[in-house]
């Protein structure tokens, strides 16, 4: 996550050890660099400024960040209502209204005040090579850099609360041909049942206060490599008076099923083994972590976007006892989740279901499970104001489509093939002390290209070199763009797991609101709730025509355009525009 503050003519101290991002030319003296409003520093030291953005649809002037004159920094002392302690975020730990509060804090490292203008780059040699800690989680990223076209996330953490589904969780693939675990897993006395997760745990965080009617709820969904710490990637939208107004709303953010930031996933401990003894009774060949404990690894079941969303819905209804969700919001992979919320919880009738028949589904305030198809259209409804209504009342899907296309699957597959090509991969059963980081690094580099635009790369790098005295072409040419990509890959392997990356990209590829339900047009036509679809005019990964399709097929939808040169990452970088559209939509509905 980048700061949007402006820095002009201040001291930038690059503490690099034996490594710094080589595409950035910094000295230890005072320099006169102007940070752009996306937090980046112009490569050539020249000041740049963004234009004030105007929505083509609404003609509403969007907020403009001034480069000169002020240094806006993130103040997280008021994120959670009632807690103002030394820049730390105190999450609301309980859904109880006006109940006791036992707060857990997360240091707001990403909220380093830009007025201090200290940029620190930590040497990768100081970090462990393996991405799994003793609990099988991704490493937290305490290396918060502020550089040109940097990683879109700040400090990554798996902290928060955990929901454990009380019974074995049947996945969408349960009983479906072609979805199973490995031969080893199937032949083991402790085999992993195909299509079932047990335990099924989801990490989540909450912000703000739940009202007496338990319906002032915003659900915010994260993207591919994000986590449930909303402040780490959409922090500018979170807090009193902001888009995710914690004075008005109870904000819930869940970690994706299959991730390595707290939810059950490939790096989680494998059930059924004596983990306390290091898994000494395990059958040979079972994947293990650095502590020699058996983990899922590639035997983790196939998980779909629907599986992730349905488990979140069960968390919201059964754990937090939410009566109704005001809005679900998410971008990219988070947008795909938002679309599944629309389908499963934004309708009150299935295709071909008459209103009178659908009304009979509510028995004593509960859904008649015998007449509801799991994962079906309108599975989750509620009784509100004396009427049967969708459990979700509105949604804002951003930078996504109705289904993952061949273009997007192909880009995902290219990244997976980069991991497979690493000799250390070994079919996913690699040495945990020597993981296939080279392949994961290349996969991330491919992704970083797809998230941006040709113009964005030209504007930032052109044909510039990190060393003008070096060769101007050939295998030893020190291209700035090459150094940038290599650095992003190196940084990413410090916080993520190769198997998790493979499995999560496969989960993205599962996205298709029409699968098993009918045509996309037929399914989307059943979505009754108001939907504000946001698209980015320069997005080459999820082009604008896909958001136009969503707005066209859903009967109560509108389309708004985010104007940006940043491409797909505009949903993270253009936070002023995103926030303005979200606030306007929330205030005008319900």
Reported as a single tens digit per residue, the pLDDT across 312-355 is 999 999 999 999 999 999 999 999 999 999 999 999 865 445 44
Q: What is the CB neighbour count within 10 angstroms for residue 588?
A: 10
Residue 569 annotated in active site: no
Output the six-digit token pair for 476: 């030893």
In 3-state terms, what secondary structure has residue 38? Answer: coil
Sign of CA dihedral 265, 160, 133, 505: positive
Residues 302-311: what's their mean pLDDT? 97
Residue 568 annotated in active site: yes
Task: Report the DSSP beta bridge partners of residue 392.
Answer: 325
Please check the confidence at residue 512 and state whether its pLDDT lies above 80: yes
User: Token match 């975020």: residue?
Assistant: 89
d(CA 309, CA 366): 20
Cβ(89)–Cβ(79) below 8 Å = yes
Catalytic residue among 259, 332, 441, 450: 332
Q: What is the pLDDT of residue 171?
A: 95
d(CA 328, CA 316): 12
d(CA 479, CA 481): 5
Residue 412 annotated in active site: no
In 3-state terms, what secondary structure has residue 3? Answer: coil
Q: What DSSP state is assigned to residue 557? A: E
d(CA 493, CA 87): 28
Catalytic residue among 74, 165, 404, 568: 568
Confidence of residue 300 (pLDDT cuts 50, 70, 90): very high
User: Token match 């101007």: residue?
Assistant: 472
Q: 278-293, pLDDT tens digit by residue?
A: 444 434 578 999 999 9
Cβ(346)–Cβ(236) below 8 Å = no
Cβ(234)–Cβ(220) below 8 Å = yes
- From the list 109, 119, 329, 135, the residue with the least C-alpha distance to 218 is 329
d(CA 515, CA 343): 12
Average model confidence (pLDDT) for the chain? 75
User: Token match 């389309």: residue?
Assistant: 559
Q: What is the pLDDT of residue 439?
A: 98
Q: Where are the alpha helices (DSSP H) in 347-433?
A: 355-359, 406-420
DSSP state letters, 153-182:
--SB---SEEEE-SS-EE-TTTT-TT----
Q: 353-377, pLDDT tens digit by residue?
A: 544 444 444 333 334 444 567 899 9
Please check the confidence at residue 556 and state whether its pLDDT lies above 80: yes
Q: What is the CB neighbour count within 10 angstroms for residue 253?
A: 31
Q: Tell me phi and psi for residue 576, to 5 degrees.
A: -65, -45
Q: 427-448, pLDDT tens digit by residue?
A: 999 999 999 999 999 999 999 9
Q: What is the pLDDT of residue 150?
A: 54
Range with lowest mean pLDDT among 51-65, 141-155, 381-395: 51-65
Confidence of residue 59 (pLDDT cuts 50, 70, 90): very low
Q: What is the pLDDT of residue 158?
A: 64
d(CA 119, CA 122): 10
d(CA 172, CA 428): 24
Q: Of residues 135 and 496, which shows the higher confidence score?
A: 496
* CB neighbour list of residue 428: distance below 8 Å, 6 or more residues apart: 287, 297, 298, 499, 502
Task: Report the DSSP beta bridge partners of residue 366.
Answer: 363
Cβ(226)–Cβ(492) below 8 Å = no
Q: Of residues 141 and 578, which shows the higher confidence score?
A: 578
Q: Tell me phi and psi for residue 557, to 5 degrees.
A: -115, 155
* Length reported for the chain: 590
Q: Tell me phi and psi for residue 533, to 5 degrees.
A: -90, 125
- From the list 309, 233, 331, 322, the residue with the least C-alpha distance to 534 is 331
* CB neighbour list of residue 105: distance below 8 Å, 6 or more residues apart: 85, 88, 89, 90, 91
- From the list 174, 550, 210, the residue with the least C-alpha distance to 399 is 550
Please check the confidence at residue 222 and state whether its pLDDT lies above 70: yes
Q: 109-133, pLDDT tens digit by residue?
A: 333 332 222 222 233 333 333 333 3
Please check the confidence at residue 140 and state whether its pLDDT lies above 60: no
Q: 466-483, pLDDT tens digit by residue?
A: 999 989 999 999 999 999
Q: Can you list the positions of beta strands (E) in 94-173?
A: 105-107, 161-164, 169-170
Output the six-digit token pair for 268: 């989680």
Catalytic residue among 302, 497, 512, 539: 539
| Per-residue CA distances from 393 to 344, 445, 476 (Å) | 12, 38, 56
């Amino acid at each position: 996550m980048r700061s949007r503050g402006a820095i002009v003519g201040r001291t930038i101290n690059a503490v690099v050890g034996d490594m710094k991002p080589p595409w950035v030319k910094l000295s230890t003296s005072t320099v006169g660099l102007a940070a752009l409003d996306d937090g980046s520093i112009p490569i050539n030291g020249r000041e740049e400024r963004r234009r004030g953005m105007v929505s083509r649809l609404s003609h509403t002037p969007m907020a403009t960040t001034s480069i000169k004159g002020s240094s806006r920094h993130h103040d997280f002392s008021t994120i959670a209502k009632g807690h103002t302690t030394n820049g730390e975020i105190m999450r609301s730990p309980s859904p109880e209204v006006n109940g006791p509060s036992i707060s857990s804090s997360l240091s707001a490292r990403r909220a380093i005040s830009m007025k201090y203008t200290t940029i620190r780059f930590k040497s990768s040699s100081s970090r462990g090579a393996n991405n799994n800690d003793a609990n099988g989680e991704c490493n937290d990223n305490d290396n918060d850099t502020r550089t040109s076209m940097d990683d879109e996330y700040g400090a990554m953490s798996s902290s928060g609360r955990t929901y454990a589904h009380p019974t074995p969780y049947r996945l969408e693939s349960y009983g479906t041909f072609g979805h199973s675990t490995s031969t080893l897993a199937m032949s083991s006395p402790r085999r992993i049942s195909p299509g079932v997760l047990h335990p099924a745990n989801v990490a989540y965080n909450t912000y703000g206060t739940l009202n007496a009617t338990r319906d002032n709820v915003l659900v915010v969904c994260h993207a591919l490599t994000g986590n449930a710490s909303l402040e780490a990637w959409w922090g500018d939208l979170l807090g009193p008076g902001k888009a995710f107004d914690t004075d008005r709303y109870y904000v819930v953010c869940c970690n994706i099923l299959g991730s390595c930031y707290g939810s059950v996933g490939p790096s989680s401990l494998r059930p059924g083994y004596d983990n306390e003894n290091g898994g000494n009774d395990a059958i040979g060949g079972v994947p293990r972590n650095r502590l020699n404990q058996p983990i899922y690894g590639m035997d983790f079941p196939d998980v779909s976007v629907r599986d992730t969303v349905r488990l979140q819905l069960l968390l919201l209804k059964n754990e937090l006892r939410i009566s109704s969700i005001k809005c679900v919001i998410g971008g990219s992979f988070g947008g795909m989740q938002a679309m599944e919320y629309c389908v499963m919880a934004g309708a009150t009738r299935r295709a071909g279901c008459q209103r009178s028949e659908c009304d009979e589904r509510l028995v004593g305030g509960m859904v008649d499970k015998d007449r509801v198809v799991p994962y079906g259209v309108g599975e989750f409804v509620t009784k509100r104001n004396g009427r049967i209504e969708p459990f979700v009342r509105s949604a804002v899907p951003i930078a996504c489509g109705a289904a993952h296309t061949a273009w997007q699957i192909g880009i995902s597959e290219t990244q997976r093939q980069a991991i497979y090509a690493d000799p250390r991969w070994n079919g996913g059963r690699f040495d945990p002390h020597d993981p296939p980081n080279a392949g994961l690094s290349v996969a991330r580099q491919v992704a970083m290209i797809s998230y941006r635009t040709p113009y964005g790369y030209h504007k930032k790098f052109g044909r510039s070199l990190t060393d003008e005295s070096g060769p101007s072409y050939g295998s030893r040419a020190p291209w700035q763009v090459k150094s940038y990509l290599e650095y992003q890959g190196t940084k990413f392997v410090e916080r993520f797991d190769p198997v998790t990356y493979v499995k999560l990209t496969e989960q993205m590829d599962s996205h298709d609101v029409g699968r098993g339900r009918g045509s996309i047009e037929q399914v989307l036509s059943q979505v009754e709730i108001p939907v504000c679809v946001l698209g980015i005019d320069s997005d080459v990964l999820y082009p604008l025509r896909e958001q136009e399709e969503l707005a066209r097929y859903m009967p109560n939808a509108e389309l708004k355009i985010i104007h940006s040169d940043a491409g797909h990452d505009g949903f993270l970088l253009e936070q002023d525009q995103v926030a303005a559209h979200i606030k306007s939509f929330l205030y005008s509905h319900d």
